[in-house]
Amino acid sequence: QSVLTQPPSASGTPGQRVTISCSGSNSNIGSNTVNWYQHLPGTAPKLLIYNNNQRPSGVPDRFSGSKSGTSASLAISGLRSEDEADYYCAPWDDSLNGVLFGGGTKLSVL
């Protein structure tokens, strides 16, 4: 069964840089691009990063993504209180023939 592993929680103080990891396998991250979403309670998820490291228009350059092998990371620099949200990685999975979401990481800004 395909699984994407994210840390359940992360935290940082305003201005800090935090990184959220996403570990997968050859059928997902290893062979497809990774997208990242920010999800605030009561709102629809927002695409932060697509194709591993591309930012959609309007997403601040404080957000960056990278991928190496079967792992990917989302980095947030200059942390702000409004960054407090849940973050999900989401590549296509060839074995499932579908989109696979990571379990999500709850980011707290202390």
Partner 1 sequence: QVHLVQSGAEVKKPGASVKVSCKAFGYTLSAYYMHWVRQAPGQGLEWMGWINPDSGGTNYAQKFQGWVTMTRDTSISTVYMELNRLRSDDTAVYYCAVDFFSSGSAFNIWGQGTMVNVSS
Judged by the rule CB under 8 A, the positions of this chain that interact with partner 1 are 32-33, 35, 37, 39, 44-47, 50-51, 56, 86, 88, 90-92, 96-104
**In this structure, is the dihedral angle defined by the CA atoms of residues 27, 25, 107 and 19, taken in order, positive or negative?**
negative
Eight-class DSSP state of 27? T
> Shortest distance, CB of residue 75 to partner 1, whole angstroms?
18
Give the nearer residue to partner 1 in terms of CB position, either 47 or 78: 47
> Shortest distance, CB of residue 53 to partner 1, whole angstroms?
12
Q: Return d(Cα 49, Cα 9) in angstroms, integer.
A: 19
Pick from 1, 16, 27, 18: which is nearest to 75 by CA? 18
Give the nearer residue to partner 1 in terms of CB position, either 57 or 81: 57
